Amino acid sequence: MFSPVHRFRDIERKPEYLHPEKCIPPPRLGSLGTMWFIRDGCGIACAVITWLLVVYADFVVLFVMLIPSRNYIYSTINGVIFNSLAFLALASHFRAMLTDPGAVPKGNATKEFIESLQLKPGQVVYKCPKCCSIKPDRAHHCSVCKRCIRKMDHHCPWVNNCVGENNQKYFVLFTMYIALISLHALIMVGFHFLYCFEEDWTECSSFAPPTTVILLILLCFEALLFLIFTSVMFGTQVHSICTDETGIERLKNENPTWEKLSSWEGMEAAFGGSFSLNWFNPFKSVDSKPDLLRATAVSGTASGGGVFSLDLKLGAEGTRQSSKGALPAQLMPRKQRDEAEKLWLWNEKTWALFLDLLPL
């Protein structure tokens, strides 16, 4: 019968921690390339379906309702509005799919890297056993992306990517623009049905009446379904930003161990600056602001000899000290940290033993 202390230490003795090949240093940035893309069959299929559904809606709006219309002003105005919103929706989807959501460098939990942190006895870091990375606070491992993601909200198959710290803006814009074009399409379908009932069905569309009805009903069903879905997702994401609490944190009912931002500060952090039209621009990248309290991002950057430096994005109040005062931010999540503090009394010898257990 093992004691709780034995169970905790057995976790550190799992093969994942003992095999050096499990935690090889990450490659240099120059060899990685710049595009982020998840090779997941389900996600790729969902992303393609999303684009096809938008293309179908645009086809029905243009060739069934607007082009056959005799009111050229009505057709021109609605055509410009709908296609502009559709373009912004697809651009937002493209950015959400191909933007790194905030992945923690893979395989940086090496002995050399942890020794470079110059930790003192009593200070704890948490290592993800799946991607072999030092796991920042508020980061969670995604089984689809196979990486730990900073401020991960959820993995969305419709954008074939996680929604995290770096791409949440694009996901919010995607849901907003899809909801807007869905609402716009529903309104135009309603007006078109009224117009066709008043006029001859053979003259209100370039297609045969049965074909026109089927196309309009399918568009109405698609628009209604996506209006409900994306409106709920948009509201959920805005609520998460304003409360500074991700979907996973809310689902797990985690007590915050970080300095929470106000609602407006959270919006500025997610959208990359003070309020402006760039908030609605999917082509404007999100720039991190150093004056916001966001001690959550840990990244390993290659320096000479395979040693990696720690980069913590801290707020205006400077370094957050732990109870023993050397590590800038507590990196272990609350649950594991509490377990470590209760079950393992750290001292000079146990810290040296922990370093020996880590792979070379």
Active-site residue set: 156
**325: buried, middle or exposed (CB in 10 Å: 19+, 13-18, 0-12)?**
exposed
- C-alpha to C-alpha distance for 172 and 235, rounded to whole angstroms: 9
Q: Is 108 left (phi over 0), alpha (psi -120 to 50) or beta?
A: alpha
- C-alpha to C-alpha distance for 140 and 148, rounded to whole angstroms: 5
Angle, helices 209-243/168-198, rounded to nearest 10 degrees: 150
- In the block, residue with structure tokens 């096809």: 52
- C-alpha to C-alpha distance for 27 and 23, rounded to whole angstroms: 12
Residue 18 burial (CB count, 10 A)? 13
Q: How distant is the alpha carbon of residue 278 from its chain centre?
A: 19
- Alpha helices (H) in 253-333, listed in sequence order: 263-271
CB 314 within 8 A of CB 320: yes
Number of H helices, E strands in the chain: 11, 8
CA distances (Å), origin 209, targets 205, 213, 219: 8, 6, 15
